[in-house]
Structure 1
Amino acid sequence: MSAILSSVPEPALSSSWAILQAALEHIADTHPDAVFASSLGAEDMVLAHAIFAAGLPIQVFTLDTGRLHAETLALIQLIEDRYGVAVRRIQPDPASIKAHVDAHGAYAFYESMALRKECCALRKVEPLRRALQGHSAWLTGQRRSQSLTRTELPESEFDPVFGLWKYNPLASWTQEEVWSVIRRFGIPYNPLHDRGYPSIGCEPCTRAVRPGEDERAGRWWWEQKQSKECGLHAGNLKD
């Protein structure tokens, strides 16, 4: 089980869950074509469970960057077996990835922020743009307390980068609320969370966090705290 052992009192947890369900139903009613971009992290598993349990017509997909942990890929199959749904896997363009690797090397992202962002753009941002094309809204599992770049995260906003509405239904949730819901419903989750990975991305770019670090300190750990976004949520980075 996750290192988050404290639990939210049942009345408060039931209230948070009811509010989340109502918010998701409202999004589905307002945007029948809404899609959920799942990172397969703990927060995203809570959202997926809520969507599947209510039978909402919100399509769930994940960005298969080609560099995910084996544990993350195994979770996709577990989701499909548990809920009887297919999780769409959006992959980057192979030719673009080959050209980038040929030009800069397989691990160029360690060399500079510019090369790291270029890698993220190819493996994540372009595939996401493709997946969102033609839709009016998308959902994420972001929370305000995850990092310095997310402290002002709204629950809903128009996303000018991708040109559609963006919803962050768990924006105000705490880490304790997330894990209390996972325990309450027996929601499947990535076993890397039990090994000190509160936030999980590509395998070469993610490490376990150390005591006292924020939840996303293990992402691109060689960079400054203020830069830890990949471009999927460009609005989180303030000038």
Structure 2
Amino acid sequence: MNQERLYNWTLEQKEAESIRIIKETLERFGTDKVATTFTGGKDSLTLLHLIKQACGGTVPVRVIQIDTSVKFKEIYDFVARMSKEWDLNLCVVRNEEALKTIRIAEDHVQCCYQLKTVPLQNAIRDFGLAALFTAVRWDEQEARQGEEYFSPRQNPDHLRVQPILHFREIDIWSYIRKYNLPFCELYRRGYRSLGCEPCTVRGGPGGPERAGRAQDKEKAMQRLREMGYF
């Protein structure tokens, strides 16, 4: 796959390719067997709006919010706002057992695995999903650079579908401006990538997009992804 060629597409071409992937997935599996993730961040917001475009103005699939219990209040408020305004079928999932014992942010890899990956895996099983949309991008994180649009996964078996791989950070903001989309106010305060509050700080301009994330976790991203993280 020629990523450089795709990066050079116009925003309209990138939108069209994303919508094609979304429609192909829904035609193959149906809306009951497909869900999308929504973190409250700019990328999953863009993906949600692309699903709306592909589906006549609605989001007809489950929208999974993984609640670690330590997200920023602004993120919780924004997800609640969008759920109401866009009439989302929001499904909030948590690992209640882990929350009773885990020391938040002490071991970033185990914390992410227990509080993000495990509830996501449980949701895929519980909802009987065949496919899951996620809003990862090639240019966002080194461990995601080799991803494909359609990626079979195990534990549990499902197809990970990633329709905005070819969007760059600048494309995301161009898309948000084009459609005048609301977005989480933390971005106005200098955050470029939103995670859990104990593990996220403002990222400086000009550096890596995820410079404000816990860097030991970033270095272990490939391992986390092999464990089921997106």
TM-score by length of 2: 0.84
**For 1:28-69, what per-residue CA distance to the aligned partner results, in whole angstroms no more than 9, with x for missing partners?**
111221111222211100111122342353221110110000
> Are the aligned partners of 1:139 and 1:168 in contact in 2 as well (CA < 8 Å)?
yes
SS in 1 for 2:143: helix
- Paired AA for residue 27 in structure 1: T
SS in 1 for 2:193: coil
SS in 1 for 2:159: strand
**Match among 21, 24, 30 for residue 23 of structure 1:** 21
> Superposed, which structure 2 residues align to 1:88-107 within 5 Å?
88-93=91-96, 95-101=97-103, 106-107=104-105
- Residue of structure 1 in register with 2:168 after alignment: 174
- Residue of structure 2 in register with 1:136 after alignment: 130
1:84 CA displacement: 2.2
1:97 CA displacement: 1.7
* Deviation beyond 4 Å, 4+ runs, structure 1: none
> Superposed, which structure 2 residues align to 1:71-90 within 5 Å?
71-90=74-93
- Paired AA for residue 67 in structure 1: V
1:180 CA displacement: 1.0
SS in 1 for 2:19: helix
> Are the aligned partners of 1:63 and 1:128 in contact in 2 as well (CA < 8 Å)?
yes
- Residue of structure 2 in register with 1:120 after alignment: 112
Percent identity (aligned) = 22
1:229 CA displacement: 6.2
1:234 equivalenced with 2:226 (yes/no)? yes
After superposition, the Cα gap between the structure-2 partners of 1:96 and 1:205, relative to the gap in structure 1 and judged at 3 Å, is same
1:198 equivalenced with 2:200 (yes/no)? no
1:69 equivalenced with 2:72 (yes/no)? yes
RMSD of aligned C-alpha atoms? 2.5
**Partner Cα separation in structure 2 for residue 48 and residue 184 of structure 1:** 15
TM-score by length of 1: 0.81
1:224 CA displacement: 7.0
1:43 equivalenced with 2:43 (yes/no)? yes
1:235 CA displacement: 7.2
**Partner Cα separation in structure 1 for residue 132 and residue 72 of structure 2:** 24
SS in 2 for 1:138: strand
> Are the aligned partners of 1:137 and 1:165 in contact in 2 as well (CA < 8 Å)?
yes
State the aligned residue count: 216
Unpaired stretches in structure 1, ≥5 consecutive residues:
1-7, 110-114
1:200 CA displacement: 0.8
1:170 CA displacement: 0.6
**Match among 210, 213, 219 for residue 213 of structure 2:** 219
**Partner Cα separation in structure 2 for residue 58 and residue 168 of structure 1:** 15
Unpaired stretches in structure 2, ≥5 consecutive residues:
1-6
- Residue of structure 2 in register with 1:5 after alignment: none
After superposition, the Cα gap between the structure-2 partners of 1:125 and 1:51, relative to the gap in structure 1 and judged at 3 Å, is same
**Partner Cα separation in structure 2 for residue 191 and residue 230 of structure 1:** 31
> Superposed, which structure 2 residues align to 1:8-19 within 5 Å?
12-19=10-17
- Paired AA for residue 174 in structure 1: R
